[in-house]
Amino acid sequence: MRRELIELRILPPLAIGRLGSSPDPMDNYDLVIRDPVGPRQIEPAETLRVDRKTGSVSRFTPKAPLRFKDRHGVRPVAPFLEVWARLKGESKLRPLTVELLRAAGLKPDSVSWRVQVANLKIFRRTAVEADKIATDIRPFSDHKVHRLSGRCRNFLPRKTVSLGSVQYILPSRTLPEIRFRFTPAGGKVYGLDPADNVYDSSKGTWQGQYSEPQDNTQGPAKGRLLTQPFQTFAGENKGGDKDSKLVSAGYIDDECDGFVEVEIRNRTGPMVRAFARIASGPPAFAPDSMPVRTVGDELEQAMFGPRVNGRVTVKELREVVEIVRRAMETACLMNAAQLNAGSLQPGSGMARHDTKDWHRALEPMFEPSVAETVAIASRHQRVLLGVESGSLVWFANALRDFDQVADLSTEGRRKMPGLMRGSDGMHLALTRRQVDKIRKVAAAGVRLMSDRR
């Protein structure tokens, strides 16, 4: 009896790739906590190796220590995307496999893929449509490598920028799931040398013309369209004191983001489709550490709201411990004494922004006698150890609320997270949901069961 595919998903719904020019993508690894107050351990995990010529995939587990670079360069992180499906009559999504396709009377080549990615960094500045770098890979079902060649109307004839590549993986007996791989580009900067220049400066302004004035209330629309912060592109300062501006050198990078879409036409019945988002960024240079506020936290808040509803349990306690751990990991890698300095010199932290952007009195944020990396890291370690014994209450009381980011008083600047900048350029607050979760867990006194009864 032929089954029908009712709905599809691509998981993960958002996959991050990381640039690197090595042809050998980074191995898979797990981050394991062996030392409860120390760095996570990077331990090899089952890795899928793809033969780019055929699209076939095999499993292997690499040996420690893992290498993040090889003789070619940094090994890119090339994420896999899986197709999950729900069959008619079933309530759950399952990994789509060759067998499930067969049950629906279909084959692997019934699965069709489309990819649209773009690099709009130039367009965001110039607002010129012709400066968009984009590519749209028409639907395909083969297992070849498809290059994401970014085209731009303001490029020189026949020039493109490689934004990476994608491949529909050939399912096998041992790995029968329907999967797809996005391999980011190599992290090249175009325009440094004439030889790899792609931009046509007779058509567009990006190379040597586009500029942003130092006084960001000037210019088209009084500077209100500029990015914030502005002048975030490579260029040269020109002009005198009064009319200084940054003129773009015309460099272009090969990051991108966009969509991967899958479509399957049922034998009888409607088409089913799904899409996911991909993005590429620089490597995670401290791969055993995680940031304290992440896109994952954003998505959780956007999905479930700024407050945790209902009772908090051990699950929330674990999530909160994870946040505290991330705070510790961040603290270990920051020069607190330097970032705390009440100085206008480059290399100083938020005190400099507070004085330059807002005329706040220039002074350090924390008492200099306690703003010291080893001491702060040590404190976070002890807080992590004592989470169930009251240290979480301290942490919860110290958090900055989202509407307190503009409180530049001495007290306000000493809230947590400390010494860091948020999306509005003010002092960083965690997401409201993170704050709510921490406070609720602290108030509820949730305890983990001890290790053994």
Partner 1 sequence: MSARLTRHLQWRPPGGFGLHLDVYKAPRERAAYLLRIAAAVEHSIMVQYLFAAWSLGGPHLKDPKQIALAREWQTTILDVAREEMGHLATVENMLTLIGGVPSFARGDYPAVSNLYPFAFALEPLTKRSLARYIMAEMPSEALLKEHGLSDRIGKIAGLLRVRKNERQAHRVGILYDEIVNLFTAPPVSSVAGSKAGSYIASADIQAGSLNYQVRPGEWKLRYDDLLIRTASNREQAIQALQNISDQGEGTGLTPLNQSHFGRFLQIYHAFPDEGDWQPARKLAKNPTTDPDDGKASLIRNREAGIWAHLFNLHYKMLLMFLTHSFAIEAPAGQKENSPRALLITWTFGEMYHLRSIAEILMTLPLGDHSGNAAGPPFEMPVSLALAAREPDRWRLHRDLIGASQNYVERLENTRSGKKHASYLQGLRQVNAKALQQAITLVGA
Partner 2 sequence: MRKSISPQNLTAQLQYRAAGNPPSTLPGAAVSNACPGLEMDFRNVWKRILVGIVLHETTNVVVGVEEDAPAPLYVLPTLYQLMKVEGEPVTATVTGPLIAGGPNVPIPNTSSDSVTNLEWSNALADVLYRYSGKEVVCEFQTIDPPLATLKFNLRVRHFFEKVLLPGGKKATQAVISRDIAEAGALTQSLCSPWQNDYRVCACFYWAATRPDYVNVELGEDGASVGNNWMQKDRTPESAKVYVVDDLQDQRLLTYGDLFREWEKALRFVIGNQDAE
Tokens standing for residue 420 = 């860091």
- For the bound state, the minimum distance from the C-beta of residue 141 to partner 2, rounded and expressed in Å, comes to 20
Residue 263 interacts with partner 2 (CB under 8 A): yes or no: no
Q: Which residues contact 334 (CB under 8 A, 6 or more apart)?
A: 373, 419
Give the range of 21-29, 65-73, 166-174, 442-450 binding partner 1 by CB under 8 A: 442-450
For residue 174, the minimal CB distance to partner 2 (Å) is: 12
Rg, Å, the chain Cα set: 25
Number of residues that bind partner 2 (CB under 8 A): 167
Per CB under 8 A, the list member of 31, 98, 128, 170 interacting with partner 2 is: 31
CA distance 232 to 235: 9
DSSP assignment string, 239-288: S-STT-EEEE---EE---EEEEEEEEE-SSS-EEEEEEEEEEE---SSTT
Query: Does 401 interact with partner 1 (rule: CB under 8 A)?
Result: no
Work out whether 379 is an interface residue with partner 1 (CB under 8 A): yes
Cis peptide before 417 (omega within 30 of 0): yes
Cα–Cα separations (whole angstroms), residue 41 to 37, 53, 322, 329, 382 = 12, 34, 15, 13, 19
C-beta closer to partner 1: residue 243 or 401: 401
Residue choice 38, 95, 186, 281 for contact with partner 1 (CB under 8 A): 38
418 binds partner 2 (CB under 8 A): no
Main-chain dihedrals φ then ψ at residue 164, nearest 5 degrees: 120, -160
Nearer to partner 1, 176 or 368 (CB): 368
Name which of 410 and 423 has its Cβ closer to partner 1. 410
Confirm or reject binding of residue 342 to partner 1 (CB under 8 A): yes
Spatial contact of 308 and 297, defined as CB atoms under 8 Å apart: no
User: Please, are residues 270 and 306 in contact by the beta-carbon 8 Å criterion?
Assistant: no
- Among partner 2, partner 1, none, partner that 364 touches (CB below 5 to 8 angstroms by kind): partner 1
When asked if residue 360 is in the footprint of partner 1 (CB under 8 A), the reply is: no
Q: Which of 101, 256, 320, 441 binds partner 2 (CB under 8 A)?
A: 256
Paired tokens of 200: 């046509």
Q: Does 289 bind partner 1 (CB under 8 A)?
A: no
Binding residue for partner 2 (CB under 8 A) from 176, 208, 213, 422?
422
Using CB under 8 A as the binding rule, whether residue 303 contacts partner 2 is answered as: yes
CA 251/CA 233 separation, integer angstroms: 8
Q: Is 444 in the site for partner 2 (CB under 8 A)?
A: no
Stretch 309-328: interaction string toward partner 2, x if CB under 8 A:
-----------------x--
Task: Tell me which of partner 1, partner 2, none is bound by residue 156, counting a contact when its beta carbon lies within the kind-specific cut-off of 5 to 8 angstroms.
Answer: none
Q: Does 386 bind partner 1 (CB under 8 A)?
A: yes
Q: Which of 43, 80, 110, 203 binds partner 2 (CB under 8 A)?
A: 80
- Give the separation between CA 204 and CA 153, rounded to whole angstroms: 9
Q: Which is nearer to partner 1, 299 or 444 (CB)?
A: 444
The answer to the question of residue 36 lying near partner 1 (CB under 8 A) is yes
Phi and psi angles of residue 246, each rounded to the nearest 5 degrees, phi first: -100, 120
DSSP 184: -
Binding of partner 2 by 24 (CB under 8 A)? no
* Contact call for residue 280 and partner 1 (CB under 8 A): no
Q: Are 303 and 427 in contact (CB under 8 A)?
A: no
Residue 28 lies near partner 2 (rule: CB under 8 A): yes
Are 115 and 145 a contacting pair, CB within 8 Å? no
The pair of three-digit structure tokens given for residue 164, joined into one six-digit string: 């990476």
* Residues 6+ positions from 445 with CB-CB distance below 8 Å: none
Q: Which is nearer to partner 2, 263 or 288 (CB)?
A: 288
Q: Is 55 in the site for partner 2 (CB under 8 A)?
A: no
Q: Which residues contact 309 (CB under 8 A, 6 or more apart)?
A: none
Binding of partner 2 by 276 (CB under 8 A) = yes
CB atoms under 10 Å from CB of 21, counted, come to 14
Largest CA distance in the chain: 79
Cβ-contact 280, 18 below 8 angstroms: yes
- Give residues 147-166 in contact with partner 2 (rule: CB under 8 A): none
User: Which residue is listed with tokens 């998903």?
Assistant: 9
**By CB under 8 A, residue 405 contacts partner 2:** yes
Is 96 a binding residue for partner 2 by CB under 8 A? The answer is no
**Of residues 405-434, which lie at the interface with partner 1 (CB under 8 A)?**
410, 414-415
State the nearest-atom distance from the C-beta of 291 to partner 1, in Å. 23
What does DSSP say about strands 133-140 and 111-119: parallel, antiparallel, or unpaired? antiparallel
Check binding of 275 to partner 2 (CB under 8 A): yes
Binding site for partner 1 (CB under 8 A): 35-38, 337, 340-343, 364, 366-372, 374-376, 378-379, 381-386, 388-391, 393-394, 397-398, 410, 414-415, 443, 445, 450-453
